[in-house]
């Protein structure tokens, strides 16, 4: 594992910890898109089916279990927790995420590495992850004001994607057989979606001001 | 012939 990959996994982990911290400390999920969280839960559940068949490393197994467990816990909290669910901004979270699921599944049936059940689900999870942040970004845009922890959550998620791109560049030059087109192209698309958010995040950081997204 | 390398990324 190279340093970029590790940095990517760690920023991904931090983003989830920041989100859990926000929900736990404020007993509120305001500003968080339940739809994005449900999509992530689906992404992890479909991608990590290999937990049942392949062993790569302890690190790999633990991280996968953490991602599945935390995403399910967050969805559970936002839907079922007595206090937390009341702060969910349902009227701002109107993105039609079923459309994303249908479109990415259709793409996975057309473009895959191998025509097997597992590989098609793997491709689906990669495509779905690329666009899963959209309901969250739309929600931030709508509410305009972004609270500190929600802003940091999205920032770390974006950083995770950026580090993965550096990781692929590194692997491309250091490993003879590293060509994972589906993951790399989807990863580029996914990172590009954060560009606008990053722009405003850095401006607010530079000016030491509260993060605000233009309407 | 083409055995793809293991999917070791998360």
> What's residue A109's pLDDT?
97
Task: Tell me the pLDDT tens digit for each residue of B1-10.
Answer: 455 677 899 9
Q: What is the mean pLDDT of residues A16-22?
A: 97
A129 to chain B: closest CA residue: B10
Contact B4 A113 (CB under 8 A): yes
> What's residue B3's pLDDT?
59
Task: Tell me the pLDDT tens digit for each residue of A53-89.
Answer: 999 999 999 999 999 999 999 999 999 999 999 999 9
Q: Which chain A residues in 168-187 lie under 8 Å from chain B, judged by CB atoms?
A: 177-178, 183
Task: Tell me the pLDDT tens digit for each residue of A30-54.
Answer: 999 999 999 999 999 999 999 999 9
- How far, in Å, are A11, A45, A187, A215 from residue A64 at the CA level? 15, 9, 18, 37
Task: Tell me the pLDDT tens digit for each residue of A93-131.
Answer: 999 999 999 999 999 999 999 999 999 999 999 999 999
Contacts 24+ apart (CB under 8 A), A175-183: A177/B5, A178/B5, A182/A111, A182/A112, A182/A113, A182/A123, A182/A126, A182/A127, A183/A126, A183/B9
Q: How far apart are CA A191 and CA A207, in angstroms?
A: 24
A50 to chain B: closest CA residue: B7
State the smallest CA–CA distance between residue B8 and chain A in angstroms. Answer: 7
Prediction ipTM score: 0.83
Count chain A–chain B contacts defined by CB atoms under 8 A: 21
Contact B10 A9 (CB under 8 A): yes
Q: Say yes or no: A5 contacts chain B, CB-CB below 8 A.
A: yes
Contact A54 B6 (CB under 8 A): yes
- As a residue count, chain A comes to 215
> What's residue A180's pLDDT?
85
Among residues A75, A83, A189, the alpha carbon closest in space to that of A129 is found at A189
Read off the tokens for A62. 């633990």
> What's residue B1's pLDDT?
42
Residues A135, A97 contacting (CB under 8 angstroms): yes
Task: Tell me the pLDDT tens digit for each residue of A138-179.
Answer: 999 998 888 999 999 999 999 999 999 999 999 999 988 777
């Amino acid at each position: 594992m190279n340093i970029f990959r590790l940095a990517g996994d760690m920023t991904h982990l931090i983003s989830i910890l920041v989100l859990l911290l926000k929900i736990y400390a404020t007993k509120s999920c305001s500003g968080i898109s339940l739809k994005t969280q449900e999509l992530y839960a689906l992404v992890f559940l479909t991608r990590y089916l290999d937990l049942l068949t392949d062993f790569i490393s302890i690190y790999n197994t633990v991280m996968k279990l953490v991602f599945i467990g935390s995403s399910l816990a967050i969805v559970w909290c936002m839907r079922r927790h007595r206090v937390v669910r009341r702060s969910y901004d349902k009227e701002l979270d109107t993105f039609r995420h079923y459309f994303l699921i249908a479109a990415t599944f259709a793409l996975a049936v057309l473009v895959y590495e191998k025509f097997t059940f597992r590989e098609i689900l793997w491709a689906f999870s990669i495509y779905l992850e690329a666009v899963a942040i959209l309901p969250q970004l739309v929600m931030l845009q709508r509410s305009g004001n972004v609270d500190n922890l929600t802003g940091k959550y999205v920032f770390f998620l974006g950083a995770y994607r950026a580090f993965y791109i550096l990781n692929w560049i590194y692997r491309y030059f250091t490993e003879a057989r590293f060509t994972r087109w589906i993951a790399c192209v989807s990863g580029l698309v996914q990172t590009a979606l954060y560009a606008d958010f990053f722009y405003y995040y850095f401006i607010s950081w530079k000016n030491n001001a509260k993060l605000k997204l233009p309407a | 012939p083409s055995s793809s390398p293991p999917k070791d990324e998360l």
